[in-house]
Amino acid sequence: MKYRILGNTGVQLSAIGLGCMTMSHAYGTPDDTESIATLHKSLDLGINFWDTANVYGGGKNEELISKVLTENRDKIFIATKFGFTSDGNRAVNGSPAYIKKTVEASLKRLRVDVIDLYYAHRIDPLVPVEEMVGGMAELVREGKVRFLGLSEASVNSVRKAHAIHPISALQSEYSILTREPEANVLPLCKDLGISFIPFSPLARGLITNTLDVEKLADGDLRKRFPRYQREYEDNNRKLTAGFAELAQQKGCTPARLALAWVLSQDEHIIPIPGTKKRRYLEENVGAVDIDLVAADFSNIEELLAKYPDTGARYNESNAIHVDKS
């Protein structure tokens, strides 16, 4: 494994982290036995950066992770998030009072004394960013949280937050098929010394050329999103088949090529591909040893230009929670 530094903290994190959401939430049926084995395998492979959230499985993901985390606490940098609520009147809550409540619940489920990285899962439009981050900073002073992060936050919100307390990480979707952060967010993170943490760096499995959208289970989160609908199936099938050919020419799998591309964008980027299976984890980790050359980038861009109609990453009900302020 290779390692990268988290923001300005000096903390070394594995260049590829582990997104734990799918072990308990969103895709397919949970398999706790395989998930636990995957968590142990990640440590064997040198992965020390795990990512979860209080909303994943209604807290079950944090509880699952705790079964391996507590006995390996010194080996794991644990990140979790707060913000989404089950309140029908308020989808996101970033108030300091709510933060105090949710951090205690996450600490209890994770069975730890301190959370290494605590993210605001989304920006609450009803709470000033400065007020929210002030509440998060209080957790740092109390020793319950080490570092702070934001997720799906705009450049303006990141600047406001960073002025109140150092933001160490910004998490947003980023992959070969989701490039929006390149315009402003990635440069800002580099300028401020903030690590950028891409989630879904494999486009929720699409770029691997193994995803059959027709076979997604009814409860699969991807069934809600435009990119995985029949309307875009022909374009995306041709694109991913072409990408698989590029990977074959490179002597690797599409997943490894896609992750190598993300890693190559800059040293302050630490992707967290999600999986609940050991075989995919081992495949993902192999990306750190793949070096891309100019021709690789050119070939990928030419392929994307040939098949541009990939579909939006979110539907309207999900996109509304992405901060654009």
Q: Is residue 92 part of a domain?
A: yes
What is the residue range of 14's domain?
3-204+262-290
In single-letter form, the type of residue at position 50 comes to W
pLDDT tens by residue, the chain, 325 residues: 999 999 999 999 999 999 999 999 888 889 999 999 999 999 999 999 999 999 999 999 999 999 999 999 999 999 999 999 987 778 999 999 999 999 999 999 999 999 999 999 999 999 999 999 999 999 999 999 999 999 999 999 999 999 999 999 999 999 999 999 999 999 999 999 999 999 999 999 999 999 988 888 888 889 999 999 999 999 999 999 999 999 999 999 999 999 999 999 999 999 999 999 999 999 999 999 999 999 999 999 999 999 999 999 999 889 989 988 7
CATH code: domain of residue 195 = 3.20.20.100
Q: Is residue 144 part of a domain?
A: yes
Of the candidates 65, 63, 41, which has an alpha carbon nearest to the alpha carbon of residue 51?
65
Q: Is residue 306 part of a domain?
A: no
Q: Report the sign of the C-alpha dihedral through residues 54, 142, 268, 289, in that order.
A: negative
Biggest CA-to-CA distance, the chain = 54
Number of structural domains the chain divides into: 1
Q: Is residue 316 part of a domain?
A: no
Q: Give the residue numbers marked as catalytic.
A: 56
Q: Is residue 235 part of a domain?
A: no
Q: Is residue 218 part of a domain?
A: no
Q: Is residue 86 part of a domain?
A: yes
Q: Is residue 305 part of a domain?
A: no
**Ranges assigned E (strand) in the chain:** 3-5, 12-14, 18-19, 49-51, 77-82, 115-120, 145-151, 167-173, 195-199
